[in-house]
Chain A
Amino acid sequence: MNYALHFGAVWASFDKLLSGLAIGLGLAVAAVAIGCLLGILSAFASVSKLRLLRMVSGFYVLIIRNTPLLVLVLLAYFALPSAGIRLDKYESFIASLALYSGAYLTEVFRAGLLSVPKGIVEAARAIGLTRLQTNLHVVAPVMLRNVLPSLGNTFIGMFKDSSIAAAIAIPELTFEARKINVDTFRVVETWTVASGLYIAACFTIAFLLRRLERRFPKF
């Protein structure tokens, strides 16, 4: 075991790793934005009076949470074209990750909805707000503040899962790292730097989120 560390080859391609990191973040932002929409709708469905809506939301969460993301990604990229739906690799990955994150976000937003005190909903109804107005102006803002920490954690999780885009050759961080690994065979250095970049990004996101949380008053 005599392996000497030489980071030079990795530094030479460091810009590739950085652009890969940016692509990963972009994928996660796009997917989680769509996932939030799915998650909020599905969370409202999960607390609905209508049994059908509750069932649809329940099945969505059950199926997606228990299926590997890689299977969804491969299905969206390789299988959908044979059903006549043609997406490029970015679109299909964002769609898969959005669907995947939506299931986790359903539970995040559902917990948020249940955390809204019943009394303030009644107070809103008592001054004559309709159900929609109550949800829009009272329930949603209170819920969003309450879910901010778990929303942040889900985002970090989805950002890490953006590494799976390497499986369909999207040049994000993991894909670039693997390429450098194979080209230069500076194995230890490559994966140390790649992992370091992911960790640094996760910590930065977590730090920014905590700042954001502090800017909003706690309820």
Chain B
Amino acid sequence: MDAFLAQLWIARWPLFDGFLLTIGISVAAIVLGTLVGAVVGISLVFAPKLARLPFVVYVDVMRGTPVLVLILAAFYIPAVLGLSLSATQAGVLALALFAGAHIGELLRGALQAIPPGQAEAGRAIGLTFPQLLAHVLLPQAVRMALPPWINTGVELIKGSSLLSMIGVGELLLRTQEVIGRNFMTIQFYVFAGLAYLLVNVVLDTIGRTIERRLGTR
């Protein structure tokens, strides 16, 4: 144990940097993914049938493809198309596209779960479509979609560990580098696992608290 603590002390800054990068990547992905998801979700419900098609395809492709494949594709493809993305940027792009499809589906489900009477009542008092969306439908849908949205956050933090496979220096890659130096395999993998666990449990707890608050209001 002492030996482990000594090694941990030596490795504290790389691990901490990796941890921060993990958080940063996940936050960036959930922010971008939520923006994409909002457009996708609203379009899937309200766009004319033909205009919906590209969104349907997007969602199906993203949900049928493993995240790791998305990450590798985002890492290799832009370069040959003449775009230069760093590994981190490629990783964030892949996670955000993945999250966008999931959040879009969440929002679609939530919007469709709102009783049709709500929209009718909104129109009856003369609201325009954007007003209806902003003041009647989205507030209800967001409330319903919030708990699974937090869960998407957990999935993204877990998914960000896959970026170690394209050389992004997040927590897991930093951990592997540390292990490469001191060979304390079990100790440092468990340590990394606990770090992920901690963040996700905190996130999960926040999600549950919000859910309870919203539920009782």
Query: Interface residues, chain A, CB within 8 Å of chain B?
Result: 1, 3, 62-63, 65-72, 74-75, 78-80, 82-83, 160-164, 166-167, 174, 177-178, 181, 185, 187-188, 191, 194-195, 198-199, 202-203
Given A68-B158, A164-B162, A198-B64, A177 contacting B69 (CB threshold 8 A)? yes
Residues from chain A with a CB closer than 8 A to the CB of B165 are 70, 166-167
Within the complex, the shortest CB–CB distance from B166 to chain A, in Å, comes to: 10
Interface size on B, residues (CB 8 A): 40
Q: Is the CB of B69 within 8 A of A68?
A: no
B196 touches A199 (CB 8 A): no
B65: nearest residue on chain A (CB-CB)?
Answer: A195
Nearest A-chain residue to B64, judged by Cβ? A199
Give A194 to B69 CA distance when docked, in angstroms: 8
Q: Does B189 contact A (CB under 8 A)?
A: yes
Q: Which residue of B lies closest to A166 (CB)?
A: B68
With beta carbons under 8 angstroms apart, the residue of B66, B82, B189 that contacts A71 is: B189
Which of the 9-residue segments B47-55, B72-80, B132-140 touches chain A? B72-80
The interface residues of chain B, by DSSP majority, are classed as: helix
How distant is B1 from chain A, measured CB to nearest CB, in Å? 15
Partner of B186, one of A69, A75, A161, A199: A75
By CB atoms of chain B within 10 A, which of A63, A66, A82, A177 has the most? A66
The listed residue (A72, A164, A187, A202) touching B68 by CB distance below 8 A is A164
Checking B154, B164, B190 against A70 with a beta-carbon cut-off of 8 angstroms, the contacting residue is B164
User: Which residues of chain A come closer than 8 Å to B157, judged between CB atoms?
Assistant: 68
Is there an interface contact between A199 and B65, defined as CB atoms closer than 8 Å? Answer: yes
A195 touches B61 (CB 8 A): yes
Q: Select from chain B the residue with minimum beta-carbon distance to A70.
A: B161
Contact with A along B152-164 (1 / 0, CB 8 A): 0010011101101
Residue of A nearest to B186 (CB): A79
Residue from A66, A160, A187 in contact with B65 in the complex, judged by beta carbons closer than 8 Å = A160
Contact between B72 and A74, CB atoms less than 8 A apart: no
Contacts A79-B185, A160-B65, A166-B68 given: A199-B60 contact, CB under 8 Å? Answer: yes
- Is the pair A1, B172 in contact by a Cβ cutoff of 8 Å? no
What residues of B have a CB within 8 angstroms of the CB of A188 in the complex?
77, 80-81
For A66, the chain B residues whose CB sits under 8 A away are 154, 158, 196-197, 200-201, 204
Residue pairs across A and B with Cβ atoms less than 8 A apart, 27 shown, are A62-B201, A66-B197, A68-B196, A69-B158, A70-B164, A71-B189, A71-B193, A74-B172, A75-B186, A78-B189, A79-B186, A79-B189, A82-B186, A83-B186, A160-B65, A160-B67, A164-B66, A166-B68, A178-B72, A181-B76, A187-B76, A187-B80, A188-B80, A191-B69, A195-B69, A198-B65, A199-B61
Q: In the complex, A211 Cα to B200 Cα: how many Å?
A: 37
- Kindly state the separation between the CA atoms of A181 and B68 in the bound complex, as whole angstroms: 14
Query: Is B192 in contact with chain A by the CB < 8 A criterion?
Result: yes
CB neighbours of A162 from chain B (8 A): 66
